[in-house]
Amino acid sequence: MVFSSRDRGEREISGKEEESRTLLTIVGNKARIEGKLDVSQSIEIGCEIVGEVIVDGQMVIQKEGVVSADVTTIDARIIGKFEGNMKGSGKVEITETGVVDGNIKTDSLIINEGGVFSGKVTRITQGEEKGKKKFKPKEIEEEKVSAKAEKKEKAGEIKEFELGDIDDSLRL
């Protein structure tokens, strides 16, 4: 099994420094890793991983890679095999050799011709990502509206009409 880390260094682009990006690569012909992996940048997987994987960048499962895990990542590219639940806040791509058996939660799923997907896809809503939108039950909203209407009625702002008071005919 081989672990390697490639530091691409800092580069200047139009006067601004770009954040350095480290790519962790795990390769092993018969290697098997069990447990929780928490990767701060990106990872390439060329072995078997079982457990939980959290990636703050891109996860690439190579052709020889097999991942059976709950995964949280930004971007994912599946060239090998994935089984489990995945949440990708960016782009999730299943290539022509990729095989996925599980559930994916993302706003961008690409399945190339030849890629295999078996499972459920759910869209990530903005409210869930930002945590700002909240669901209000309809009954509570109706109670607020009816309470406001009662106040206006008492103040004489609402007039009651009887049938026939309003001309509801349609003229062409």
pLDDT digits (tens, 9 = 90+) for 98-143: 999 999 999 999 999 999 999 999 998 754 544 444 444 545 555 5
- The answer to whether 48 and 60 have CB atoms below 8 angstroms apart is no
pLDDT number for residue 21: 53
H runs (alpha helix) in 45-137: 126-130
Average pLDDT, the chain: 76
Q: Which of 102, 70, 107 is nearest to 89 (CA)?
A: 107
Predicted TM-score (pTM) of the model is 0.63
pLDDT number for residue 27: 80
Provide the β-strand partners of residue 84: 69, 102
Element (H, E) at 151: helix 138-154
The structure tokens listed for 36 are 């929780």
